[in-house]
Structure 1
Amino acid sequence: MLIKTLLRLFIISTTTLVSCGKQNEKPNIVFIAVDDLRTDLGCYNNPVVQSPNLDKLAATGFLFKNHFVNVPTCGASRHCLLTGMRPTTKAHLGNDITQHVLSNQPETDIPETFIHQLKRNGYHTVGIGKISHSADGLLYGYTEQPSNKRELPYSWDELIFNPGKWRTGWNAFFGYANGENRQSLNRQVKPYEKGKVSDTGYVDGLTTQLAIDKLKELKKNTKPFFLSVGLFKPHLPFTAPEKYWDLYNRDAIPITDNPAIPQNVNPQSLHNSHELNGYKLGEEKPALNQPASDGYTKQLKHAYYACISYTDHLIGSIIDEIKALGLDDNTIIVVWGDHGWHLGDQQVWGKHTIFENALKSTLIIKVPNSKQTKPITSIVETVDIYPTLMALCNVDTKHPIDGESFINLLNNNNSSSQDDVAYSYFKNGISLRTERYRLTKYFRKAEPTIELYDHDTDPLESINIASKHPGIVNKLMPVLEKGNTGLYK
């Protein structure tokens, strides 16, 4: 504990190496959380996806090539982000964990989130859209009317949202262009839609308008601000305005390079794509015993890519407004995907595995006046974002958290080392990612319970080699066990 404390103090003392704008002013933060955004962007070397705005942000900021979430499901991943803590109970793997452990608690000396921490240190905090698990920050069920109770009761100075024609945040989250939604239509819907609408024909366009209007207000504020914008797409249903679909030639969209179930793996490590198949009018029902056809794969990927391009355009509008208002010289911009997504990879559609496709997600950070040119290849975890932002803002974190600041990477652009690791948790398992290997241990009866993938020779995680390399497993297992925070004891 003493070593970690000294390291944290050293990290904070070195923040001046990264310039955050005007001297003696704390930087503003615009944090954009994007649902289900895997690393399918031009800046991550996808030659098909049209993402010019995020590519430009990555070229002038810090692109993290190996960012891994701690839990591959929305609410639990966001809880790790907000608290800087890895899961310690099975309840921490559920989407409703924030509601259970934060929403109904009295305020204490320990801040409920890093946003609360910023608020206590002079920041004006504004939330728009999905930041924790709730679509609009309020507590209510998918088919219920919104309550007045906040999911995060102490983090926000302002919590705003415009549900538009969908009337509630959850309706908008699962909404279609005609104002209906998955719930109102009893799931008798397709998992995609090419909408003959403008950007504001879906709710993310309305959220972007709110963000731009709020930036104009915050420009006049004397306090530094934290503005968080939660965009829904490319979460299911894959709905986007027609013009973003038209950016793509479906025939040119490739299917995945790893469409088969990995060798030497029990099917319990995967799943039957229940989330996708919950959209009852989908033309096919892919499963582990029935892969999607090439045609349907291309159709779904086309829809997902259209959603990415829609989101990219909206993020570009926010960035343009930051520049137009002259805020760019003192504003940190973060774009974070809350987890990855299997697009037919390993015969799975969706998140909810502890394979690379579900765990690796987008992370781009733009620090004012930084001179970054090379992507950062070191491994970082979602829990590390909390202390890094506190270090950039010169806010001391006195309570213990699991995350460790990676501000040294922003200062020095360090390359990967064997000491870089990330822990992820789901499906009764723990997965450890090192520079070269992914080692996964499942706490179940179905064998095999140990999986090992060599990313030097098998970056697609297509062959479990654990039985052939017991020496590597034995060397890495003590490191993996350090990440067993009581979850499977």
Structure 2
Amino acid sequence: MKFKFFKPTFLFLFFTCSTSLGFAQSNKPNVLFIAVDDLRAELGHFENSAIITPNLDRLAAEAVSFTNHFVQVPTCGASRAAFLTGKRPRRTAELGNNIMQDEFSTKPETEIPETFVHHLRRNGYHTVGIGKISHSVDGYVYGYEEEVSDKKELPYSWDEFLFDSGKWGTGWNAFFGFANGENRQSMKKQVKPYEAGDVDDLGYPDGLTTQLAIKKLRELKDQKQPFFLGVGFFKPHLPFTSPKKYWDLYEEDQIPLPKNPTKPQNVARQSLLESGEFNQYALGEEKASLDNQLSDDYARKIKHAYYAATSYSDAQIGLILDELKALELDQNTIVIVWGDHGWHLGEQQIWGKHTLFEYALNSALIFKIPGSKLSKIDDSIVESVDIYPTLMELLSIESPNGLDGESFAGLLKSKDSKVGNVAYSYYHKGISLRTDRYRLTKYFRDAEPTIELFDHQNDPLESINIAAENPKIVAELMPLLENGNTGLFD
């Protein structure tokens, strides 16, 4: 497969002064962090996966790939805020997409770093962001249909932030962009939720992001400071758009249908999702709802679109990893690939992410340590808030006080290492606990049932809530769930 390269034409950049402690690059590992929007834990190297991700598979062959990584909040901005701060949500504002633009962007700098990127910057790292790392797609605070502002979402984290909005003109237009340069906003939502564009890789924004990342790696190779380079890809976030060649990787009639396409039993409607984000794309041939399943043909079409968009991002990641190796930076660079949450692809009659079920909370996570020969697919339960302290331990940097996560660095160094094996997530006035066997969710609402229990040993698809007939198990797990109660719903 051949890829064409063109010089990016339009950039958003901001530069600030860095606090350098004068480390030589050879003394501290660099970090390449890649965020992929809506990338659920379904990758080519996982068992029974139909998705095609050869570059992530190649990375995983030299890394630790987690099958049971769970995010704190199943929505983009809030998930990223928890990940970047290493802290669980404690206020309802921290469950929303706008928490960083509303609060982080306005706060003065204090002793407590705003993010782990800020903490790295204070400890001698040159920090560069490209694309969607926080919720903003280009580093600035402005609405979907507003002019680009000069207000930074994370004012203290980045030495540089870059984005190429290409023919779309602004970051948010690019985020919802189609191949002809239009976007969901400009078309007043009169668009389909998918597109197979007759374009090369640079015909969509993620291709432009890749070229920026490659160019920046070449520049970073020659500096003395260690670097943190964050690269954020849009796809497979809606709209599921990608060059046609990635659609052509799949036979649509062979795309597997959702394994559990009906609503789970014994749960309240309030625990589920009406697929509103998906239905915003007004020209979609069918609408999803809790009262209406998509036809098999259309379900395959949408899954095909998601798979193709994921394969497109996978190809971009491969280009960056190839450049890292060509520059010999791979020998001293930690590589992390992280999905900000999962996505229901018709499972439980849902097309979207805003639930406290496995499909929304379970996302991709791969960690590669330079020089390590350890390669494994690990089923330990880890959380997004654990990444902050893990990275600090790997870099021999002391973590700030008050983090909620716990380091799983041991899992990256030994086949036999174990961690605490619990994860907490928050949404819909609920707290969800995941152990190695069970998911227990408690909702703070009137609609019954407010307690849900799923046995992943016997029901990995979370199809039946068994809380009512298993009060002993609920009673045993409830104190553990309460350990994750941050007072959010008090």
> Which range, TM-score by smaller chain?
over 0.9
Deviations 1:252-280 (A, max 9, x none): 10101111101111111001100000000
Deviations 1:433-484 (A, max 9, x none): 0000000001110100000000000000000000010000000001101111
Q: Is 1:350–2:377 an aligned residue pair?
A: no
Distance across 2 between alignment mates of 1:130 and 1:89:
24
Report the CA distance between 1:411 and its aligned residue: 2.0
Query: Given that residues 211 and 229 in structure 1 are in contact (C-alpha distance below 8 angstroms), is that contact kept between their aligned partners in structure 2?
Result: yes
Deviations 1:36-66 (A, max 9, x none): 0001211222442111000011111011111
Distance across 2 between alignment mates of 1:78 and 1:305:
23
Report the CA distance between 1:485 and its aligned residue: 0.2
Query: Given that residues 410 and 418 in structure 2 are in contact (C-alpha distance below 8 angstroms), is that contact kept between their aligned partners in structure 1?
Result: no
2:485 maps to 484
Query: Given that residues 40 and 46 in structure 1 are in contact (C-alpha distance below 8 angstroms), is that contact kept between their aligned partners in structure 2?
Result: no
2:123 pairs, out of 121, 124, 133, with 121
Distance across 2 between alignment mates of 1:213 and 1:400:
37
Q: Is 1:241–2:243 an aligned residue pair?
A: yes
Q: Is 1:430–2:431 an aligned residue pair?
A: yes
Q: How does 1:36-435 map to 2 (within 5 A)?
A: 36-414=38-416, 419-435=420-436
SS of residue matched to 1:234 = coil
SS of residue matched to 1:439 = strand
Letter in 1 for 2:440: L
Distance across 1 between alignment mates of 2:409 and 2:349:
37
Provide the aligned C-alpha RMSD in A: 1.2
Stretches of structure 1 lacking an aligned partner (at least 5 in a row) = 1-21
Report the CA distance between 1:244 and its aligned residue: 0.2
SS of residue matched to 1:376 = strand
Over the matched positions of the two proteins, sequence identity in percent amounts to 65
Structure with the higher fraction of residues in helix conformation = 1
Deviations 1:105-147 (A, max 9, x none): 1101111000000000110000000000011110000001111
Query: Given that residues 36 and 234 in structure 1 are in contact (C-alpha distance below 8 angstroms), is that contact kept between their aligned partners in structure 2?
Result: yes
Distance across 2 between alignment mates of 1:357 and 1:415:
26
Letter in 2 for 1:456: Q
Distance across 1 between alignment mates of 2:400 and 2:53:
39
Query: Given that residues 378 and 420 in structure 1 are in contact (C-alpha distance below 8 angstroms), is that contact kept between their aligned partners in structure 2?
Result: yes
Distance across 2 between alignment mates of 1:45 and 1:233:
23
TM-score of the superposition, structure 1-length normalised?
0.94
- CA distance 1:377–1:385, shift in 2 (3 Å): same
Letter in 1 for 2:432: S
Distance across 2 between alignment mates of 1:398 and 1:67:
23
TM-score of the superposition, structure 2-length normalised?
0.94
- CA distance 1:300–1:23, shift in 2 (3 Å): closer
2:447 maps to 446
Distance across 1 between alignment mates of 2:418 and 2:436:
7
Letter in 2 for 1:56: R
Distance across 2 between alignment mates of 1:333 and 1:152:
22
Report the CA distance between 1:375 and its aligned residue: 1.5
Query: Given that residues 337 and 364 in structure 2 are in contact (C-alpha distance below 8 angstroms), is that contact kept between their aligned partners in structure 1?
Result: yes
Letter in 1 for 2:264: P
Query: Given that residues 416 and 435 in structure 1 are in contact (C-alpha distance below 8 angstroms), is that contact kept between their aligned partners in structure 2?
Result: no
SS of residue matched to 1:467 = coil
Distance across 1 between alignment mates of 2:343 and 2:400:
35
Query: Given that residues 411 and 418 in structure 2 are in contact (C-alpha distance below 8 angstroms), is that contact kept between their aligned partners in structure 1?
Result: no
Distance across 2 between alignment mates of 1:166 and 1:131:
19
Query: Given that residues 45 and 57 in structure 2 are in contact (C-alpha distance below 8 angstroms), is that contact kept between their aligned partners in structure 1?
Result: yes
Query: Given that residues 85 and 114 in structure 2 are in contact (C-alpha distance below 8 angstroms), is that contact kept between their aligned partners in structure 1?
Result: yes
1:10 maps to none
Query: Given that residues 74 and 341 in structure 2 are in contact (C-alpha distance below 8 angstroms), is that contact kept between their aligned partners in structure 1?
Result: yes
Distance across 2 between alignment mates of 1:460 and 1:327:
41
2:463 maps to 462
Distance across 2 between alignment mates of 1:90 and 1:456:
33
SS of residue matched to 2:379 = coil
Query: Given that residues 26 and 332 in structure 2 are in contact (C-alpha distance below 8 angstroms), is that contact kept between their aligned partners in structure 1?
Result: no
Report the CA distance between 1:27 and its aligned residue: 0.3
- CA distance 1:217–1:123, shift in 2 (3 Å): same
Deviations 1:223-266 (A, max 9, x none): 00000000000000000000000000001101011111011111
Stretches of structure 2 lacking an aligned partner (at least 5 in a row) = 1-23
SS of residue matched to 2:145 = coil
Report the CA distance between 1:328 and its aligned residue: 0.6
What number of residue pairs does the alignment pair up?
467
Distance across 1 between alignment mates of 2:191 and 2:201:
21
Distance across 1 between alignment mates of 2:25 and 2:134:
32
